[in-house]
Amino acid sequence: MIVAMKYAENVYLEKSVKLLERWLPASAREMLETYMAQSDEEADWNIEEDTEGFVYCVFSWPETDSERAVLLVYDDEMRIIADCSAVHCSVSHLLSSVRLFDELCEESDWMYLSHYTLCADLFPEIPWPPEGKKVNREGEALLYSNAYVTKAYRRKHIFTVMTEIMREFALRFQSGNALLYTSFSLDPDIAVYGPDAVKEPYHYSFEKDEPDRMRNKMILEKLGFEVIRLQETEEDPEADGTKLWFAVKKENDVIIDIEKESVS
């Protein structure tokens, strides 16, 4: 069960913003001033706590035809024990924005292929890559760039809660029937915060990482995702198989404004 925390309890937001300041479009102080000035209806951040006492702090900032959403999870000692981030955009921008596509390509091969997989599997009738022509399609898209739970805190449903919170965050401005299209890479993520983080650069190892990828596959299938293995265009005897497994999901939800319903 998730409960919203008091609005005044923004110490988690302040810590999170300061931690990620170098990636933000403005200083931590300016970002906090912007967040604090927002009303509940237009807020680009939220803080929630589950029954285990874990605190989930999600916030976003604008990027090209999209927003970057980050979720950090804290334990009772305010240590980060899990995190995830994703690019959130409208489906229309996903299918038509060349600028968004170019930025995802520059970010990483994973994001490039995540964009391809989501578009090719769920919108095969639309030309890919985007041609810059306006494409009108309903719905929101969420392309995850990472998701990690500290090993000592696994099997506590933290990953499931993170996906639920990110889903609700992506749909926070929607009402009525709402469509959400989501994509994940199944490649193992690297710990950036907490006790699992290491300084050494990451190198893929089939023997070490393949069991993790298969575990990710099972988890996402239980959450209703369709797992897709991309076909290599050329045979490469040295290919290690990374960046080729993805999971996608289409959800149809009904968003009801409880306050409006109670007033009427």
Mean pLDDT of the chain: 88
Domain boundaries, the chain: 2-263
Rounded to whole angstroms, the Cα distance separating 38 from 15 reads: 18
Class of domain 2-263: alpha beta
pLDDT digits (tens, 9 = 90+) for 125-146: 999 999 999 999 999 999 999 9
With 0-12 / 13-18 / 19 or more C-beta atoms within 10 angstroms meaning exposed / middle / buried, residue 141 is buried
pTM: 0.90
pLDDT tens, residue by residue, 93-134: 999 999 999 999 999 999 999 999 999 999 999 999 999 999
* pLDDT bucket at 233, cuts 50 / 70 / 90: low
Query: How high is the pLDDT of residue 40?
Result: 86
Give dist(CA 26, CA 195) in Å, integer: 29
